[in-house]
Amino acid sequence: MTQALDTLWYTRCPVPTGLGIAVQKGWLQDTVGALGTQVQSLRESTDKAVRESHFDHTLRNSVRHGGNIPAIWARAQGRETRVIGLSWADEVQLILTLPDSGIKTVKDLKGRRFGLPDWAGAQIDFTRAQALRGLENALSLEGLQVGDVQLVNFRYEGTFSDPQVSTVNGTPVSAQRVEGRNLELVGLLRGEVDAIFLKGASAARQAHEFGLHTVIDTGSHPEPLIRSNNGTPRTLAVDLNLLDNHFDVATGILDSVRRAEHWAHTHPEDTRRYLARETNSSEYWVSAAYGNDAHLRLRTELDEQAIDALQDFTHFLHRWRFIPNSFDVRDWIDPRPLDALLQTPTALAG
């Protein structure tokens, strides 16, 4: 008999995920707790090395649901992880300018200055990668390339894991003030660059607050690969040790995630409130960023569109040298937990 797992470490990004709702509702804790396992928030740890596992997935017996760039990077570095689910919740992905910049369409970006974040101290600069992806995808629609614009770097100090995260009324927030939170936006407002990329609820809010012009929202484009970025699809990943030695916990994680999503589909207003807490935003900006049907977009599966997009994005990260080598994402995916749940009709009861 396999010994019960003592502790499961969980982490999720401040974006719409089934794991986030499952944690807020206590369903993850209840599901794995019934197996004799307690859960702990990785990002709330006082140990920076533990918090850094949100990005490099070095911590054994952990689960992460969120942006795919750190997950892909960790896999490319040789981390023994497996993807047990993919969720695709479209969000606004905005290329923004000042109203008087003269940039009205994507074609007008040619020759202009584009601001990019530069976290030199981070193991994987997912903010830079997602901005480049949004820019490249937008330019490709007009036959342009990234080389047709002038890239301007905004240097950030430290790493993403420096501040400890604490949960305040359901919202995971930094326990200390973070200086220089959005240098590209400041640079745009000061006229140091002509355009920047922002995504999600904060992007929708900031574009409105500062009266910025949206050149394009690649997040609403009909072509999935143009919408594909760090959050589309999001990876639900666990380490191989968890799968091999505590398969029931891995299945329990996925069960609680899908249960939370199933609940969300019939509770739109409650879901918006949960997502507002997850994103540290208001319900209005949740709707603006993720759609009035945000509750219906929470679906963790392993569908072909998401797998193809994940592969395409992995090639992108290799081409831009964010990862040392590309790989076949199908070798990274383990469908066994999902298959086990789909063979259990009562899995979503409750």
- Other CB atoms closer than 10 Å to residue 48's CB: what's the count? 12
Q: How does DSSP assign 186-250, residue by residue?
A: HHHHTTS-SBEEEEHHHHHHHHHHTT-EEEEEGGG-SSHHHH-BTTBSEEEEEEHHHHHH-HHHH
Q: What is the CATH number of domain 7-89+232-348?
A: 3.40.190.10
Q: Which residues of the chain have pLDDT under 50?
A: 1, 179, 347, 349-350
The per-residue pLDDT for 265 is 97
Residue type, 86: L
The per-residue pLDDT for 287 is 95
Instruction: Give 96-120 pLDDT, tens digit per residue.
Output: 999 999 999 999 999 999 999 998 8
Strand positions, DSSP E, the chain: 7-12, 38-41, 62-66, 81-87, 93-97, 113-119, 150-156, 165-168, 171-174, 196-199, 213-217, 234-239, 300-301
Q: 0.85 cut: is pTM over it?
A: yes
Give the dihedral sign, CA 218/220/225/230: positive
CA distance 300 to 85: 6
At the fourth CATH level, the homologous superfamily of domain 95-227 is Periplasmic binding protein-like II (3.40.190.10)
First to last CA, the chain: 29
Instruction: Give 120-144 pLDDT, tens digit per residue.
Output: 888 889 999 999 999 999 999 999 9
The per-residue pLDDT for 219 is 97
CA distance 218 to 51: 31
Considering only CA atoms, give the Rg of the chain: 20
SS3 category, 167: strand
Task: Report residue 32 as tokens.
Answer: 């794995």
Q: Are 199 and 93 in contact (CB under 8 A)?
A: yes
Q: Exposure string (b/e) for 305-314, b if CB count within 10 Å is 16 or more?
A: ebbebbbebb
Domains 7-89+232-348 and 95-227 in one fold: yes
Q: What is the residue extent of each domain of the chain?
A: 7-89+232-348, 95-227
